[in-house]
Amino acid sequence: MKKKVTKIGVLTSGGDAPGMNAGIRAVVRTGIYNGLEVYGIMRGYNGMVENDIFKMESRSVANIIQRGGTILKTSRCKEFFTPEGRKKAYDNLTKLGINGLVIIGGDGSFRGAQTFSNEYDIPCVGLPGTIDKDIAGTDFTIGFDTAVNTAVEAIDKIRDTADAHDRLFIIEVMGRDAGYIALHSGIATGAENVLIPERKTDIEEVIKQLAEKERRHKLVNLIVVAEGDEFGGADEIAKIIKERLPMQDVRVCILGHIQRGGSPTCFDRLIASRMGYSAVECLMEGKFNVFVGMINNRMHYIPLNEAVKKKQRISEEWMKIVKILAS
């Protein structure tokens, strides 16, 4: 039987995502409302290892719901992935009496949480925070909606200039292992093609499609490629197209880290607030080794294992929609 949780720590880990601050705020205020002490842990697991931990009050999270980034800062901590690092982290937490943790991050961060709570008697609950939306067991992750809207806004602007010059633009969006930003932003901006890591890129098919459009004098085309596409990023694709279709006036635009910043959308603020609230409830109910995910607009506790072992699957139908609507 697990001990009753009385003091909880909250941290953000991995790549930052807009809405993380809203999640921190919800954890702090729900914890305090329920009579818990809440501690902020700086720079992800680094703060646990290096004892960079401070007590938070309700006012500590004032005026942050609308801010991108994370007031707790974030990092990818190598030391925590060693037994010695985790032992240090445990000793620092127990000195302060912290007996529950909320980890806001992606699958790498969840892996760390799972290992830690299997080794030590500190229950961990995750909040899925990543712009990539690549966590199995939840329909959405905190930050995805903002990132994809940032991408859409940028691609719409690119379309204006592409249209003015009759150009082909290859736009690279984030997603080292996941194509959700590319797929959603590609459909929403009417892209001709979307290239993602989860699907083999048939470059011959891409060339054939463009050549056929060239014959129809359709020269304004947008291709959205995820950075982790197995064929290469935007520069690589552009190089091949230029060689094969010299008539095309090709330009590349790499959107990069602007997708990670900015004020979170209403949707991200809402899910972060709801997830943060549920994470504290979850710890108080004595559940652990789970993360709070959203399925059909309802919050669920999902085993961390599911996020760590499985991948979200790209729908065949969505890929078909790209193809049909771009014709």
In the complex, which residues of this chain contact ligand F6P (CB under 6 A)? 15, 106, 130-132, 174-176, 227, 260
Residue 190 tokens read as: 């009417």
User: Residue 203 CB: number of other CB atoms within 10 A?
Assistant: 16
DSSP letter, residue 129: B
Q: How far apart are CA 137 and CA 127, in angstroms?
A: 12
Residue nearer to ligand F6P on the CB measure, 73 or 167: 73
Q: Please, what is the minimum distance in Å from the beta carbon of residue 54 to ligand F6P?
A: 25
* Residue number with CB closer to ligand F6P (159 or 260): 260
Nearest-Å Rg of the Cα atoms of the chain is: 22
Residue type, 68: G
Q: Quick one: 36 or 135, whose CB is closer to ligand F6P?
A: 135
Least distance (Å) between residue 47 CB and ligand F6P: 18
| Least distance CB 174 / ligand F6P (angstroms) | 4
Q: Nearer to ligand F6P by C-beta: 31 or 233?
A: 233
Catalytic residue among 132, 134, 229, 268: 132
- Per the annotation, the verdict on 132 as an active-site residue is yes
CA distances from 188 to 4, 19, 34, 179 (A): 47, 22, 42, 14
User: Shortest gap between Cβ of 175 and ligand F6P (angstroms)?
Assistant: 5
Q: Where are the beta strands (DSSP E) in the chain?
A: 7-12, 37-41, 53-56, 100-105, 124-128, 168-173, 193-195, 221-226, 250-254, 290-295, 298-303
Q: Is 165 left (phi over 0), alpha (psi -120 to 50) or beta?
A: alpha
Q: Active-site positions?
A: 132
